Amino acid sequence: MVKVLPSVLKVPNDDIQKAIDAVIDVVDGIHYDVMDGKFVPPTTFTIEDFRALRIPIFTDIHLMVDHPEEVILDYAKAGAKLLTIHHEAKQRDVRSTLEQIKKLGCLAGLSIKPRTLVSEVPDDLWEYADVALIMSVEPGWGGQSFISEVLDKVRYLRKKFTYKDINIDGGINDETGLQAVHSGCTMLVSGSYIFTSPDYRQAVERLQHIDE
């Protein structure tokens, strides 16, 4: 079964807890988008926002920030299980940030934007990361269209790292999700598709069973 992680980015602030509660017992985790207004133009959730939520399941924090090394401790302490950082961020040493994440007892995710080549990240870094996150839209906004060219990166990583979890984020629905899974993804992040559908849970289950 494919792991599905709903992104609550576009859910109105006052409805986020309700949206999480509605899917909590069917999803594989919650994907939480953190943006600093520098790595990407928008600013989103802060650590205080995260602490205020009740998310008693696997939580994936997508750190679209220039200095993830400065915030990972706070998110780990607040209960995050997977911390995903960007290779393009301004942090000085990606490897050491991934190491710190693992030392905190979390899984370490490594992400690249659509225009970053998979070969710009050394193989040993992909190897070291627990999860590879391929962005299939420009990070910063929900509700954009899927960029299908990024599937080449998924195929490349799948061939090279047979057992690695490969996650994909942006424009995932029941068509693009199937393409992603056929290319080698084991995890799907999906925001608009789930939270604009009349039945969130059914949308999650459709994605989980997409290749059956």
Q: Which of 172, 177, 167 is nearest to 196 (CA)?
A: 172
**By Cβ distance, which residue is nearest to Zn ion?**
62
Residue 6 touching ligand DX5 (CB under 6 A): no
33 binds ligand DX5 (CB under 6 A): yes
Is-contact 72 43, C-beta < 8 A? no
Segment contacting ligand DX5 (CB under 6 A): 50-58, 72-80, 90-98, 134-142?
Answer: 134-142
Residue 197: which of Zn ion, ligand DX5, none does it interact with, CB under 5 to 8 A by kind?
none
Helices in 104-172 by DSSP H: which ranges?
123-128, 151-160
116 binds, among ligand DX5, Zn ion, none (CB under 5 to 8 A by kind): none
Cβ-based neighbour number of residue 22 at 10 Å? 18
189 binds ligand DX5 (CB under 6 A): yes
Is residue 15 flagged as an active site residue? Answer: no
Asked if residue 62 binds ligand DX5 (CB under 6 A), the reply is: yes
- What minimum distance in Å lies between the beta carbon of 122 and ligand DX5? 24
Q: Residue 131: left if φ>0, alpha if ψ -120 to 50, beta else—which one?
A: beta
Could you tell me which residues are beta bridge partners of residue 190? 6
Q: Is 72 in the site for ligand DX5 (CB under 6 A)?
A: no
DSSP state of 98: H
Examine residue 84 and tell whether it contacts ligand DX5 (CB under 6 A): no
Angle of CA points 45, 181, 121, to nearest 5°:
65
The residue type found at 26 is: V
**Residues 156-175 contacting Zn ion, CB under 5 A:** 169
Q: Which residues bind ligand DX5 (CB under 6 A)?
A: 7, 9, 31, 33, 62, 137, 139-144, 169-172, 189-193
Catalytic residues: 33, 169
